[in-house]
Chains A and B, each alone.
Chain A
Amino acid sequence: IAGITQAPTSQILAAGRRMTLRCTQDMRHNAMYWYRQDLGLGLRLIHYSNTAGTTGKGEVPDGYSVSRANTDDFPLTLASAVPSQTSVYFCASSKVAGTGETQYFGPGTRLLVL
């Protein structure tokens, strides 16, 4: 069982380019999340999805979009990357949302925007 996989592992991206970070889970979890991790700030929630077909905004959603066409996949898109989006991005999932269920994290994608 792989759990959560993220791709790519790392990426260098020119400012203004479009980029999609991929996330796939095989645990049949209903809820999925995207976080960015920046030094000294911990992890901050970008977007979430409580179930397939629904999405919501987290603490820092600007410049990012997500979709949840099915249970397993939750891609994060940067429509026009900016240097402030340089970060480590983590995808997570939980069985259900909002009940204290444990969130399980992927290995992360390291993104550098120049």
Chain B
Amino acid sequence: AQSVTQPDIHITVSEGASLELRCNYSYGATPYLFWYVQSPGQGLQLLLKYFSGDTLVQGIKGFEAEFKRSQSSFNLRKPSVHWSDAAEYFCAVLPDNMLTFGGGTRLMVKP
């Protein structure tokens, strides 16, 4: 069965610093890959998705993610974090009909 691992439960970065959130998946083929963000008390919002083609994907709010087949990874990055980026981030894979989520990484931003 497919699975998604987000190794970091919490990450704290300073405002203006760069950010990388890790995501590894387990699946026989290349699934569709997603990153969602959840602000406190809100639903999930799609940041970006990868289906095929260019392995570096641009998303909203200045985020990007890179698909690395050899590492089964789809890490999320942002060059300069803003205080409003504090939220929980979920990586997800869609190999068939069922979107499977990682456990999430909570991002805190220090002033």
Contact = CB atoms under 8 A, between A and B. Distances in A.
B46 interface: yes
Interface in A67-114: 90, 92, 97-98, 100, 102-108
A41 interface: yes
A103 B97 CA distance: 11
A105 B37 CA distance: 11
A58 B94 CA distance: 13
Interface residues of B, number: 25
Contacts of A44: 101
Nearest to B4: A42
B55 to A, nearest CB: 16
Nearest to B104: A42
Contact of A105 (B44, B94, B98): B44
Given A98-B97, A102-B49, A41 B43 contact: no
A42 B99 contact: no
Contact of B97 (A4, A41, A97): A97
B90 A107 contact: no
A107 B103 contact: no
Interface string B93-108: 0101111111110000
Nearest to A108: B43
B27 interface: no
Q: Which 4 A-B pairs have the closest CB atoms?
A: A42-B101, A100-B32, A105-B43, A98-B97
Given A42-B92, A102-B46, 20 more contacts: A33-B99, A40-B9, A42-B103, A42-B104, A43-B92, A43-B99, A48-B98, A50-B97, A58-B98, A92-B44, A100-B49, A100-B51, A100-B94, A102-B49, A105-B36, A105-B43, A105-B44, A106-B43, A107-B42, A108-B42
